[in-house]
């Protein structure tokens, strides 16, 4: 007996050691096996899962509007100096001037010195103009400083006695010249002055040959030299070259909206198509806005012809879904929750009628011309989710006790929104479409919002399917 006890004591440590090794090996194997199974399961799940593409909803038209370079034609004339000398400019270039307004002065010396005494009233008015300009000064629009400078100089000249009725008068040692008519003053010329739409040639549209001459100078000029240009009519035209396709697309238009890329401003003009040297041109006639572009002969514009805007989605995202159609008159409101729904009438096991309020998700409210409401107008029909009701359910009107049997089915178009990781139907209202994309309303109930994520290939996905 003692011998056996000794043998047991000697063999026990080795047996325990082997058990520990086996146990340790099994834990590692199990962990590795679990990891391997997880990887295999993930791979199988990936290979068998739905391959869908996501699309982020953006806003805009179906296609970009076409851009053109237009040639501006307006009524303008170049005026010449009536005497020689050094020029001082008093009218701000690009600004309007009234008839008899002071444009420039010519003196015999480069820096004319004129001493003029102003009355207290005139000084007070000038101080007022300066104070008003100072209060409204915007550093981001520093060019307004020059406009103010020229206007102030003109005011001082008028106070100095430049109020004669003649077009050229003398103040101090300057001969002051007035504008002969209302207009917009430019101190440049380019050879297009005097041109009309009917006198244009195809060569006039060549910007590489275009040259503009700056008439401003600090040197001495001679009598008869060109001094300034005056645009004398607010009406002007813009001509754009058209391809045969452009001309066909625009042939039925009489007005068109134009966006000027120079400043982003837009305005509407009368539109017609004219032919110059065998080439078709679009002629856009305006009666305002000239002062913004008086110094531009060529203008980059965009014809705003794609006016239908909304949320842009791929056609491949669009699906249809069936809904039950229930007259809106049968809808009621739960007094406790204030939810909108319908009162469904059924029979219980005892044969008694029971009214149950069923909250309904109303995806659309559409006028049905085939049915008339109490006021004789087309009836309003609610499209409700089929999951909320069963075919044959009886709905009771809480106003007059009439009943409606649920069985009429309608179809709405929509997309699958996947913001939450699973496919949720969202209704859409088509505004326009082409071969690839559609523009839908952004104000649809239970519809889409800007930057929503939707399924691009909707035929690969089922509603409420978990996608990620």
Q: Is there a single domain that holds both residue 404 and residue 282?
A: no
Q: Which of 275, 303, 331 is the last residue of a domain?
A: 303
Please tell me whether residues 336 and 398 are part of one structural domain. yes
pLDDT tens for each residue of 361-397: 899 998 887 676 666 678 899 999 999 999 999 999 9
* pLDDT band with cut points at 50, 70 and 90 for residue 468: confident
Query: Is the model's pLDDT at 332 over the cut of 80?
Result: yes
Domain count, the chain: 3
Instruction: Tell me which of 303, 327, 352 is where a domain ends.
Output: 303
d(Cα 295, Cα 341) in Å, to the nearest integer?
Answer: 65
How does residue 437 score in pLDDT terms, banded at 50, 70 and 90? very high
Residues 32 and 71 in one domain: no
Question: DSSP 3-state assignment of 117?
Answer: coil
pLDDT, residue 165, reads: 47
Asked whether residue 133 is domain-assigned, the answer is no
pLDDT of amino acid 121? 79
For residue 362, being part of any structural domain is answered with yes
Residue-range definition of the domain harbouring residue 25: 1-49
The SS3 of residue 85 is: strand
User: Long-range CB contacts (< 8 A, 24+ apart) of 197-202?
Assistant: 197/73, 197/237, 197/239, 197/274, 197/283, 200/71, 200/73, 200/239, 200/276, 201/276, 201/277, 202/276, 202/277, 202/279
- 351: pLDDT strictly greater than 60: yes
The DSSP secondary structure of 298-358, one letter per residue, reads EEEEEE------EEEEEGGG-EEEEEEEEEGGGEEE-TTT--EEEEEEEE-TTS-EEEEEE
Per-residue pLDDT tens for 66-77? 899 999 999 999
User: Which residues, 6 or more positions from 122, have their beta carbon under 8 angstroms from its beta carbon?
Assistant: 159
pLDDT at 394: 94
d(CA 61, CA 257): 15
Asked if residue 280 and residue 362 are part of one domain, the reply reads no
143-159 vs 120-135: helix crossing angle, rounded to 10: 170
Residue 25 lies in a domain: yes
262 and 359 part of one domain: no
Cβ contact 167:177 at 8 Å: yes
d(CA 153, CA 89): 9
Q: Is the pLDDT of residue 251 over 50?
A: yes
Average pLDDT of the segment spanning 90-98 = 88
Instruction: Give yes or no: residues 298 and 355 share one domain.
Output: no
Hey, what are 64's tokens? Answer: 């970009």
Quick one: 278 and 319 in the same domain?
no
Read off the DSSP letter of residue 191. Answer: S
Choose the final residue of a domain: 303, 322, 349: 303
> Does the predicted model carry a pTM greater than 0.75?
no
Does 149 map to a domain?
A: no
Res. 5: pLDDT tops 90 = no
Q: Each residue of 172-184: pLDDT tens digit?
A: 578 889 999 999 9
- Whether 250 maps to a domain, the answer reads yes
Residues 252, 383 share a domain? no
pLDDT, tens digit, 9 for 90 and up, residues 182-240 = 999 999 999 999 999 999 999 999 999 999 999 988 889 999 999 999 999 999 999 99
> 287 with 318, same domain?
no
């Amino acid at each position: 007996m003692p011998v056996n006890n000794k043998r047991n004591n000697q063999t026990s440590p080795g047996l325990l050691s082997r058990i520990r090794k086996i146990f340790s090996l099994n834990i590692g194997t199990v962990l590795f096996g679990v990891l391997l199974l997880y990887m295999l399961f993930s791979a199988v799940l990936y290979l068998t899962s739905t391959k869908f593409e996501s699309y982020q909803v953006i806003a805009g038209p179906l296609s970009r509007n076409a851009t053109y370079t237009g040639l501006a034609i307006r009524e303008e004339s170049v005026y010449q100096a009536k005497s020689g000398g050094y020029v001082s400019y008093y009218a701000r270039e690009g600004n309007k001037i009234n008839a008899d307004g002071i444009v420039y002065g010519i003196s015999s010396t480069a820096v004319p010195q004129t001493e003029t005494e102003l009355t207290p009233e005139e000084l007070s008015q000038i101080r007022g103009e300066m104070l008003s300009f100072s209060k409204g000064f915007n550093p981001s629009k520093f060019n307004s400083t020059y406009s103010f400078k020229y206007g102030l100089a003109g005011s001082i000249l008028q106070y100095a006695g430049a109020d004669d009725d003649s077009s050229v008068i003398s103040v101090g040692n300057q001969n002051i010249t007035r504008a002969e008519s209302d207009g917009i003053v430019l101190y440049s010329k380019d050879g297009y002055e005097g041109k009309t739409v009917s006198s244009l040639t195809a060569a006039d549209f060549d910007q590489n040959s275009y040259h503009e001459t700056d008439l401003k100078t600090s040197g001495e000029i001679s009598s008869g030299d060109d001094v300034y240009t005056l645009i004398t009519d607010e009406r002007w035209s813009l001509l754009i070259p058209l391809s045969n396709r452009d001309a066909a697309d625009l042939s039925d238009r009489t007005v068109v909206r134009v966006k000027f890329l120079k400043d982003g401003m837009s305005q509407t003009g009368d539109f017609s198509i004219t032919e110059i040297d065998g080439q078709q041109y679009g002629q856009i006639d305006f009666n305002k806005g000239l002062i913004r572009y008086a110094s531009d002969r060529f203008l980059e514009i965009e014809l705003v012809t794609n006016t239908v805007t909304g949320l842009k989605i791929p056609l491949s995202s669009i699906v249809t879904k069936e809904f039950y159609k229930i007259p809106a008159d049968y809808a009621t409101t739960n007094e406790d929750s204030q939810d909108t729904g319908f009162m469904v009438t059924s029979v219980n096991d005892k044969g008694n009628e029971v009214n149950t309020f069923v909250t309904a998700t109303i995806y659309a409210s559409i006028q049905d011309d085939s049915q008339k409401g109490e006021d004789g107008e087309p009836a309003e029909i609610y499209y409700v989710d089929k999951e909320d009701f069963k075919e044959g359910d009886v709905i009771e009107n809480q106003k007059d006790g009439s009943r409606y049997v649920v069985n009429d089915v309608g179809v709405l178009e929509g997309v699958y929104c996947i913001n939450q990781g699973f496919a949720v139907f969202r209704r859409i209202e088509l505004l326009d479409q082409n071969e690839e994309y559609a523009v839908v309303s952004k104000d649809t109930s239970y519809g889409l919002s800007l930057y929503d994520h939707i399924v691009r290939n909707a035929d690969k996905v089922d509603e409420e399917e978990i996608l990620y």
